[in-house]
């Protein structure tokens, strides 16, 4: 039985994680906490892994502390960057706690990002449209940012945008890695959705992923809790867990 703690348990995502852990026969929910709470709670409960859905400012220090104390961490908190990942890699090496951080735990979203990466070299242009609920504070989403990063890595030379004038400033969206345009929609009634549109002469390919509830992320979170002990150091994305 894997002993699991949830940091950010009072939030909507955190509470959904708690329910998913309690419903799984191989996992045992032994501790709950929130940003600002003492991290000793998780060590005292002998957690094997802590799932973090807090905020970047809290996760930045709590994940490093837990990893240094030998506790594995599954991180879904957004707004983190390369410096944070470097710090967690060092903490993992020092204390033995593995860290897995993913922009999206929905298996359909992980596959969508992989398919976009695979398709990128075969197309001339690409744009990303991400659509989320109207309470989301950051833009673009972590999923969109990672998708653009992976596509830009897969195809180094994307053509320049021919647009020279925007009648409405910002109409062409933001420019992500490789100059790929990213458009963020915030809409009441939505949860998390993304389209990747790729184009070449006479053809387009549209990849779309939809999450209609927070439960869509739970199979990935649960699977990460079960597999993280076998993923030393820092792992970015759910791909290794799925064998991709």
Give catalytic residues, as residue numbers.
Answer: 132, 136
Between CA 102 and CA 87 the distance in angstroms is: 16
Between CA 104 and CA 95 the distance in angstroms is: 26
Between CA 168 and CA 156 the distance in angstroms is: 29
How do 234-236 and 72-75 pair as beta strands? unpaired
Cis peptide bond upstream of 147, omega within 30: no
User: Residue 72 is inside which H or E element, if any?
Assistant: strand 72-75
Residue 41 is classified by DSSP as H
């Amino acid at each position: 039985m894997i002993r699991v703690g949830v940091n950010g348990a009072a939030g909507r995502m955190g509470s959904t994680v708690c329910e998913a852990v309690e419903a799984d026969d191989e996992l045992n929910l032994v501790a709950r906490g929130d940003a600002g709470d003492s991290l000793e709670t998780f060590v005292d409960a002998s957690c094997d892994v802590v799932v973090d859905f807090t905020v970047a400012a809290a996760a930045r220090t709590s994940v490093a502390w837990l990893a240094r104390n030998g506790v594995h961490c599954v991180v879904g908190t957004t707004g983190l960057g390369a410096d944070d990942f470097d710090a967690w890699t060092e903490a993992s090496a020092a204390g033995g706690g593995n860290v897995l951080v993913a922009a999206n735990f929905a298996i359909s979203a992980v596959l969508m990002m992989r398919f976009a990466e695979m398709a990128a070299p075969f197309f001339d242009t690409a744009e990303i449209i991400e659509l989320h609920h109207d309470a989301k504070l950051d833009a673009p989403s972590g999923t969109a940012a990672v998708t653009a990063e992976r596509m830009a890595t897969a195809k180094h030379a994307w053509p320049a945008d021919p647009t020279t004038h925007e009648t409405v400033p910002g109409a062409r969206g933001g420019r992500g890695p490789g100059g790929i345009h990213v458009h963020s929609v915030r809409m009441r009634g939505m949860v998390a959705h993304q389209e990747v549109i790729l184009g070449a002469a006479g053809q387009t390919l549209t990849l779309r992923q939809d999450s209609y509830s927070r439960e869509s992320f739970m199979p990935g979170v649960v699977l990460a809790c079960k597999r993280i002990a076998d993923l030393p150091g820092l792992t970015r994305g759910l791909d290794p867990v799925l064998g991709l």
